[in-house]
Amino acid sequence: MNCIYFFLRVSGSHVNAVSLFCLPLITLPDLTPLLETLLLYQGGAPKEILSSEFLEAVNDAFLKKKISLPESAVFSLWLRHLPSLEKATLHLLDQLVSIQLNSLEEVACVIKDSLLPQAASHPAIFRIVNEIFKNVLLETGGTPEVLTIIQVFTELFLRSHQNETKQHKFPLKAYFPYHHQPLVTALLRHPFELPTTHWSQHLKHVSDMLRALVEGTNTSSLADLFEIWFLVARFGEWLDIAAEQLLKAPVEPDALLWLLAFYYCPQNENQQRTQTMVEAQAVYNRLMMLFSCTVLSIKDLEAAVHTVTNIEQCHTQHLITHLLTNFLLFSSGGHMIAQEFIYHITEATDTSKEVCSLLIRTAYRINHNGEENQRTVKLLNELLQKLTLKV
């Protein structure tokens, strides 16, 4: 309290001097109350009062866990010094990409510990983190690991937003202001807010809206298309459920296949997405003919594998690998040949990381839902143990 009264009586230049004085002392535990007071101090000046060296040093110490600060002080730091926010976001991505993570629970724990999803409840922080994610995604070519990190971050952000009090809560439109709001609203629905029997209908609704947007005249540039794709990609759980519903539920496949085709092939130059749809539909039809077979052999699926390994378009390859992996997890006879077949398909198409990410996401969803049979859970764990050794 004495710190606060002190700052009420001093000029901005004196506050700046105090921040510089703190530089060599930042990691001392006794200094934490002063650091908090400085970070929360506003003063009403048009320019930043605290020295940039001080803000950078505090951020570095926080990221290296040399100091502990209240959430409010950390959020204030990132709001008043954007380079620190950028560094914190890149630090989180580096941390997650560089370590071997075997479950989304681990990913979620690391992300939550960073405080970034909680800080993103402020729209300014959310939009900057969002831009960094987009740039990293473009630079890495959309790797499964980065996409999965973004999807988990989005889920944790939404959870944090829901926990905000009404007094401090921003409307969700503030985070996605330039997107088609009915599509945003549909994607923001958490799957388990709906009965599982309504999932297919909800996904058809999403697909229909998305198709109207993408194939309409308003989507005039690649930049527009990427923005729409990135919005959909953030909510990847719905895409995974779409692939499962195609195999597990009585659905009209066209809308759900189109949704997955757009995800894997957003640009329809030279009719690429159209071709992906045709090829995916052919494999899907073969898989559905085999889905109820209680006994399967590798030879029974070789025709579908042959299709995948001989397809030139990587978009189609990824989509079909997604369908095949779900077929092995959820079909009557797929369990018996799953390990051998997944080893074969990942060797032939170099998709170990992709399949591993898919299995980790599926295990996470099943663990949180708790409705899937134990045989599938056991198979998932066995597959992940073997695949994580290969990745």
Identify the DSSP state of 50: S
Query: How does pLDDT run across 6-29, given as a tens digit for each residue?
Result: 444 555 678 889 889 989 999 999
- Per-residue pLDDT at 5: 45
Handedness of CA 84, 87, 93, 99 (dihedral sign): negative
Residue 376: name the closest of 322, 336, 317 by CA. Answer: 336
- Per-residue pLDDT at 6: 47
Query: CA angle, corner 125, sides to 120 and 131, nearest 5?
Result: 105
Residue 90: name the closest of 80, 98, 79 by CA. Answer: 98
- Per-residue pLDDT at 260: 95
**Distance between alpha carbon 52 and the CA centroid of its chain, in Å?**
31
Query: How does pLDDT run across 101-116, given as a tens digit for each residue?
Result: 678 888 999 999 999 9
Burial zone of 40 (CB within 10 Å; 0-12 exposed, 13-18 middle, 19+ buried): middle
CA–CA distance, 119 with 124 (Å, rounded to integer):
10
What pTM value is reported for the model? 0.89
**Distance between alpha carbon 40 and the CA centroid of its chain, in Å?**
31
- Per-residue pLDDT at 363: 87
Q: How far apart are the first and last CA of the chain?
A: 53
Q: Which residues of the chain have pLDDT under 70?
A: 1-12, 44-45, 101, 166-167, 217-220, 303-313, 348-349, 370-373, 388-391
Q: How many CB atoms lie within 10 A of CB 187?
A: 20
- Greatest C-alpha distance within the chain: 82
